[in-house]
Structure 1
Amino acid sequence: MEASVSFSHNMEDEYEKFVRRMNPPIVVIDNESCRNATVIQVDSSYKHGALLEVVQLLTDLNLIITKAYICSDAGWFMDVFNVIDHNRNKVTDERILDYIKKSLGPDSYFASSMRRSVGVTSGTDYTSIELIGTDRPGLLSEVSAVLTHLKCNVANAEVWTHNTRAAAVMQVKDEETGGAISDPDRLALIKRLLCNVLSGSNKSREAKTAVSHGETHTERRLHQMMFDDRDYEGMDGADSLDEKERPQVNVVDWHEKDYSVVTVRCKDRPKLLFDIVCTLTDMQYVVFHGSIDAEGSESEAYQEYCIRHVDGFPVKSDAERQRVIQCLEAAIERRVSQGLKLELCTADRFGLLSDVTRIFRENSLTVTRAEVTTRSGKAVNTFYVRDASGYPIDPKIIDSIRKTIGQTILRVKGCPEEPNQVSQESPTRFLFGAFFKSKSLCGFSSVRTYT
């Protein structure tokens, strides 16, 4: 009798663990060889997504990657990163260095941790809500008002707007219990009412709402949601950056090596590498070789990648080439924050977001992006605001808002726009911003802020 063998994901996981035990990753951290950066080298057996796992970890630690060399071939990869902290110093905190070694070293599991970071697992602390729909003035205020009415308190969230679309990942808690919302009827009501708000009067583009319990890597999930929503389509520049500041992305063939070579030039910012690697990974491309160079906080970043699709082939057609370019441009532009930066720090209370965003809306301000979190009973919020009609913000409006909310509670970071700076963005690129986690309350940002 011929024996039949079936394979399962568990068997695949066990094989991956076996390969990992036979070829444990090696992490070397060097603070001596480079004068102005900490050098981190990671060697390990290759698996699709392993590069993203490393970049994601360094990015989540708020480290800035100034240079990198990537090599992945013959079942093995080697990545070398020059990193600095947000004060542009070497990384000397032993707790952070030890965490990097443990997270990327022999005791870690790239594949399993990555699946956890982008998926949904069971949890009791909060309920995750994912939203995507057409952006418009007042949308944030409406969403926060609905959540307040439904007795939901937003603990953490991030919201991005790009190309007339808005996407959010929010972590909400029940006002009374302080934990996750488990009642299926109440969850269904939350989904229905939020979906109605997102849909509005626009029937041409679909609005989606998903509710679940557990954890997700918020920024990667936002990239995935907007990519699935095809926010990269129809980017004619009206809703994008000024031509001088738009990213320059190019894809050419390297026939001798059977690679496609992707080059990116744009203004540098801390999470640029993560955004690009995340998009290439989710588009099912493998980075075999790469070089990243960005020196200085205001410098231009240059990145080059040799890629193939997971099917082993380079970019096959002009249509595929154009799609790669569009998707990478969209991934870069999603995180660009246009507007005046306002930071709010105060004792948290139920309905705070609804009240603040209502004040913005009543003063004709639109939030292009924002970050909100609660820390030890304090709300720490960051808003990027512009005039809803696209004109420069009247400083008197900001003064009035600060008096209403509190001069010491709401601070202005950056400079008001000059009167001759007319907005180049579409009036349909509106807010969906006050739900984010803020990572810093220090320093000043320009009117257009790259984070």
Structure 2
Amino acid sequence: MDSGVSFSEDTMDDEYAKFIRRMNPPRVVIDNESCKNATVIQVDSANKQGILLEVVQVLTDLNLIITKAYICSDGGWFMDVFNVTDHDRNKITDVGILDYIQKSLGPDSCSMRRRSVGVTPGMDHTSIELIGSDRPGLLSEVSAVLTHLKCNVVNAEVWTHNTRAAAVMQVTDEETGAAISDPDRLSVVKTLLCNVLKGSNKTRDAKTAVVSHGATHTDRRLHQMMFDDRDYERMALDDNGSDKERPNVNVANWHDRDYSVVTIRCKDRPKLLFDIVCTLTDMQYVVFHGNVDSEGPDAYQEYCIRHIDGSPVKSDAERQRVIQCLEAAIQRRVSEGLKLELCTTDRVGLLSDVTRIFRENSLTVTRAEVATRAGKAVNTFYVRDASGYPVDPKIIDSIRQTIGQTILRVKGSPQEANQSSQESPTRFLFGGLFKSRSFCNFGLVRSYS
């Protein structure tokens, strides 16, 4: 049967790849001596599609800053050299991190798990993917629905770009603290969230929510979702002629070598290299050579690429599409607005309550990172005025008074150092604000259904 032959061929290909890997195991060399201001990491391995993204993903997931990189994967061999630092621009000396890099990229490393999208929950949480039209208060509405359905948001990443909003949210059952496995309940969650995302535009947002498997790399999935949503096409429509902070991306063919050369100049930021490599990989391009330099405030990146079928960029339309997609990949993570950091004991409904306060004070969330670590909620929000005006400092001060100045901080605010509140954190968000609703016991609060 055809399916049997196909399966056998796939199996032979997998076994051949394993054989090549055993014969040419990856080699990782970490050098803290040769460079004055960075740790040098060299990775040598048999070449395969997507390996560059795997390596970059490991480094960025460790929150390392890649200041320089040299990439060479021509032929059957792959070699990368990275100069990396921590966020304080220091060399990496933590033995645990260095050991993790060796194990993740060396001979004992495993291939990245393939992503799947369906309705199957993960082992300890259920992952919910959302994409739809952005509007003020959307995150508040979504989190309120999840709280009403007795779902606790333990981790989430929310991006907005070109009038679109995408989110990957990991939730657990409020009562059991485990993944939600009831298919009927998952169907209700999906339906209600779809209704929220549709808003008044029933046609535009007909397919905006899906409950997916928990084993998803969040940042890559967000790129894939927004790419599939074709957010990059709306750049020309929504740009209004403004080039503010727009990256400089150029694509030209190098006919002598049958490559296309991509050059990128833009403001540097963490995870910039990941965002670009992720997009090129998902667009089915292979990076054969690359050079990255981002030691200053600006980043310069150059890549020699071919499509996975071996051809360079074939037409001006394809060239424009590559440029648009890379511009979108760079700008999706650019954080517009004021950065607020919240750290407190986690509880069910916390995200709903905090984002409701933002909405009631005419603030819209442009990006959010929600995490739960050892029972603590560690959340970062980027907010701006819903009407487009600069955020009023008096509104931020009022919000901090409501939630608690020791709980919600303005990142980089010059006044922060002088605002050392002597009040107990429980006097704010978990005290006065909800006193009329009979909430009590810090960290053990429950929402009424």
Q: Name structure 1 gaps, 5 residues minimum.
A: 417-451
**2:118–2:211 Cα contact (<8 Å) kept:** no
Is 1:273–2:277 an aligned residue pair?
no
Matches of residues 53-64 of structure 1 in structure 2 within 5 Å? 53-64=54-65
Partners of 2:80 and 2:285 in 1: how far apart?
17
What one-letter code is carried by the residue in structure 1 that aligns with 2:146? L
The CA RMSD over aligned residues, in Å, is 2.0
Q: State the Cα distance separating 1:414 from its structure 2 match.
A: 3.0
1:295 aligns with 2:295: yes
Q: Where does 1:43-62 land on structure 2 (aligned, <5 Å)?
A: 43-62=44-63
Does 1:327 pair with 2:361? no
In structure 1, the partner of 2:125 is: 126
C-alpha separation between the residues in 2 aligned to 1:128 and 1:12?
A: 32
Q: Which residue of 1 aligns with 2:233?
A: 233
Letter in 2 for 1:362: E
SS in 2 for 1:70: strand
For residues 113 and 82 of structure 2, what CA distance do their matches in structure 1 show? 20
Q: Normalising to structure 1: TM-score of the pair?
A: 0.87
Partner of 2:177: 178
Residue aligned with 2:234, SS: coil
Aligned length: 410
Report how far residue 202 of structure 1 moved. Answer: 1.3
Residue 303 of structure 2 is aligned to residue 305 of structure 1: yes
Amino acid at match of 1:236: A
1:116 positional shift: 5.8
Match of 2:423? Answer: none
Question: In 2, are the aligned partners of 1:118 and 1:221 still within 8 Å (CA)?
Answer: no
> What is the alpha-carbon distance in structure 2 between the residues aligned to residue 395 and residue 6 of structure 1?
62
* Residue in structure 2 matched with residue 352 of structure 1 by the alignment: 350
C-alpha displacement of 1:237: 7.5
| Matched residue type, 2:69 | A
Corresponding position of 2:410: 412
C-alpha distance in structure 1 between counterparts of 2:6 and 2:402, whole Å: 70
Cα–Cα, structure 1 residues 156 and 286, in superposed 2: closer, same or farther, change >3 Å?
same
Q: Deviations over 1:166-215 (max 9, x none)?
A: 11101000000000001111000000000000011113423421113431
Residue 188 of structure 1 pairs with residue 187 of structure 2: yes
Q: Which structure carries more helix by proportion?
A: 2
Instruction: Judge conservation of contact 1:370–1:382 (CA < 8 Å) in 2.
Output: yes
Q: Residue 337 of structure 2 is aligned with which of 335, 339, 351?
A: 339
Q: Cα offset for 1:270?
A: 1.5
Asked whether 1:149 is paired with 2:148, we answer: yes
Say whether 1:26 aligns with 2:27.
yes
Deviations 1:398-434 (A, max 9, x none): 1111111111111111349xxxxxxxxxxxxxxxxxx
Q: Quote the residue 2:259 is aligned against.
A: 259
Do the aligned residues in 1 keep the contact of 2:170 with 2:214 (CA within 8 Å)?
no
Which residue of structure 1 aligns with residue 430 of structure 2? none
Q: Distance between the aligned counterparts of 1:286 and 1:174, measured in 2? A: 41
Seen in structure 2, the aligned counterparts of structure 1 residues 377 and 307 have a Cα distance that, compared at 3 Å, is same
Say if 1:231 and 1:34 are closer, same or farther in 2 by CA, change over 3 A.
Answer: same
Q: 2:250 maps to what in 1?
A: 250
Q: Distance in 1 between matches of 2:197 and 2:146?
A: 13
Contact 1:289 1:306 in 2 (8 A): yes
Find the counterpart in structure 2 of residue 38 from structure 1.
39
Q: CA deviation at 1:118?
A: 9.3
Larger mean CA deviation between 7-16 and 98-107 belongs to: 7-16
1:21-49 deviations in Å (ceiling 9; x for gaps): 11111111111111111111111111010
CA 1:116/1:25 → structure 2, altered by over 3 Å: closer, same or farther? farther
Q: TM-score, normalising length from structure 2?
A: 0.88
- Give the whole-Å Cα distance in 1 for the aligned partners of 2:321 and 2:376: 43
1:283 aligns with 2:291: no
Aligned to 1:435: none
Q: 1:237/1:28 Cα in 2 relative to 1: closer, same or farther (>3 Å)?
A: farther
Deviations 1:293-345 (A, max 9, x none): 0113xx11000000000000000000000000000000000000111111111
Q: Give the conservation status (yes or no) of the 8 Å contact 1:120–1:216.
A: no
Q: Which has the higher contact order (CA 8 A, sep 6+)?
A: 1
Partner SS, residue 288 of structure 1: strand
Residue 399 of structure 2 aligns with which residue? 401
Give aligned-pair identity as a percent: 81
Contact map agreement 1:240 1:333 (CA 8 A) in 2:
no
Preserved contact between residue 116 and residue 213 of structure 2 (Cα < 8 Å): no
